[in-house]
Amino acid sequence: MPPSRAILRLADEPGYRRQIKAQTNLQEGRHALARKIFHGKNGQLYQSYHEGMEDLVGALDLVLNAVVLSNTRYMDAALAQLQAEGFDVRDEGAARLSPFVRHHINMLGRYSFPLPELPGGLRPLCKPDAGDE
């Protein structure tokens, strides 16, 4: 499709605009999480060789994917628990959830990754009415 035709379609079709906006928001959420993970040196790559940059980007992708997987598992568990407790969880609301949430992740300090024996492999979920504790 020629660029001018795509611009006209964007201006003329509200459904197409919503689709583009949803895709853009998804990518921006991913980039915001990646920026938070890669906070050192303001997110700039300072390797003097190409392979070093590829290693850093690969490591960033690995950590980013691990965070997204963890968030997805906990969101799924939280939705299942809410449904089991009788809350009305609608599919259209659940579809709008993003695994790119990041406010609960500590990006500074020391990290330890012991493998605790947790039921179902997850830590206990917070109660929906509990505040920030």
- pLDDT tens sequence across 60-115: 889 899 999 999 999 999 999 999 999 999 999 898 899 998 888 877 766 666 76
What tokens appear for 81 in the block? 């628990």
| Full 3-state SS string of 64-91 | HHHHHHHHHHHHHHHHHHHHHCCCCCCH
Looking at residue 58, what is its pLDDT?
Answer: 85
Q: Hunting for tokens 């035709």 — which residue is that?
A: 5
User: d(Cα 121, Cα 14) in Å, to the nearest integer?
Assistant: 43
User: d(Cα 122, Cα 18) in Å, to the nearest integer?
Assistant: 35
pLDDT at position 40 over 70: no
pLDDT at position 133 over 60: no
For helices 50-84 and 14-37, give the axis angle rounded to 10 degrees: 110
Instruction: Count the neighbouring beta carbons within 10 Å of the beta carbon of residue 73.
Output: 14
Region of poorest pLDDT, from 1-5, 15-19, 33-37, 45-49:
45-49
